[in-house]
A = this chain, B = another copy of it.
Amino acid sequence: MGEKVTIRDVAKYAGVSPAAVSYVLNGVNKVSDETKQRILKAVKELNYEPNLTAVSLSKKKSNIIAVMFPLINDSLATIFKDNHYYSEMISGIEYVMRKHGYDLLISGANNPTECMKWIQKRNVDGLLFLGVFPNRLYKEMKALSTPVVLVDTYEKYERDFHHITVNDENGGYIATKHLLDLGHHAIGFVAHHLTDSPIDKKRFSGYERALREAGMQTCKEHIFEAQDSSFENGYKLGKELLRHPTRMTALFASSDTLALGIMKALQEGGKRIPDDYSIVGFDDLTFSSYSSPSLTTVRQDVFNKGVVAATAIIQAIESHATTLQHINLSVELIVRNSTAEKK
């Protein structure tokens, strides 16, 4: 194993210069067909594999793309653990990267300075930011010459980065419309963070639009914030709901995990879903169809989102085009058993 064969070995073996080998390997058309064959043969026989570290140093290109997650309590734990969502997306990202010869580095980021340093040191070719980071981070990022693709972030940064989003406004709209069509009037909206999260804002405006079209107004008492997208906070919120009688008969939650947590608490409190409450989630995670009752939700194709994000960053890296990409993916309503006509 230790006997690493270098480009020099190949060159010697083929009776040519290292440069010639490099040319052949990099598709530089400077070598006669005859020697080319000889070189290729040597490569094969010696089982030569170029050392990517050396290539990186020389080309100043690492073929590594980093996927950054916000850090919570100094670890990816919460985000990763409670939100399936990201693993599905990473699958999509990995798939594309592997096909294109890039490797995928996973890292948490919170401190902008640390993050910037790390990017420089590691020499990554591109960055994918999944989720929402502290504002300062984005600001510093702008100074970066490395291409950045943002996933799930809004207008604020449109001018500075590529980004991939889904049609959250429409998602909020169709979810709410569905509930209205079922005859519900008092419909709650459960956000993660209404103030911090651009995504939630969008979903909320879809919710508002649907109500408005139905001639209704949003009502303060029907808006809730869970702080994050965990089951647990959904559950807590559900318990809270049980304590305060309300005229609501339906809820639209900004994520499936939240919706499922709420549903659980409500059920434990003796409420029946969908008889007492209709519930709609957002995302359509795998297990949302396996809950009891199965969850009506706004589906986004998360694997595909990963594919699109990875494709975008690779394109940004390889094309040197200066135009920013802004891709907005569509969503669709999946009606299952957590929603029903208002009694």
Q: How far is the CA of A84 from the CA of B121 in the complex (A)?
A: 32
Choose from B1, B51, B81, B143 the contact partner of A91 (Cβ within 8 Å). Answer: B81
B81/A123 in contact, CB under 8 A: no
Among A74, A95, A263, residue most surrounded by chain B Cβ atoms (within 10 Å): A95
Among A87, A88, A98, A144, residue most surrounded by chain B Cβ atoms (within 10 Å): A87
For residues 103 through 127 of chain A, which have their beta carbon under 8 Å from a beta carbon of chain B?
103-108, 117, 120-123
For residues 69 through 119 of chain A, which have their beta carbon under 8 Å from a beta carbon of chain B?
74-77, 80-82, 84, 86-88, 90-92, 94-95, 98, 103-108, 117
- Which one of A53-61, A160-168, A312-320, A326-334 is at the B interface? A53-61
A76/B104 in contact, CB under 8 A: no
Query: Contacts A81-B286, A261-B290: A51 and B88 contacting too (C-beta < 8 A)?
Result: no
A76 CB contacts on chain B under 8 angstroms: 90-91, 94-95
A92 CB contacts on chain B under 8 angstroms: 77
A77/B53 in contact, CB under 8 A: no
A157 CB contacts on chain B under 8 angstroms: none
Residue of B nearest to A1 (CB): B145
Copy total for this chain: 2
Asked if A252 lies at the interface with its beta carbon under 8 angstroms from chain B, I say no
Residue of B nearest to A337 (CB): B268
Asked if A292 lies at the interface with its beta carbon under 8 angstroms from chain B, I say yes
Among A52, A53, A98, residue most surrounded by chain B Cβ atoms (within 10 Å): A53
Q: C-beta contact mask, A284-328 vs B, less than 8 Å → 1, else 0? A: 001101111010000000010000000000000000000000000
Q: List 9 A-B contacts (CB under 8 A).
A: A53-B56, A53-B62, A57-B57, A64-B105, A77-B92, A80-B90, A84-B84, A84-B87, A98-B108
When A and B form their complex, which 8 residue pairs have the shortest distance between CB atoms, in order from nearest?
A: A87-B87, A77-B91, A76-B91, A75-B95, A80-B87, A1-B145, A53-B56, A80-B91
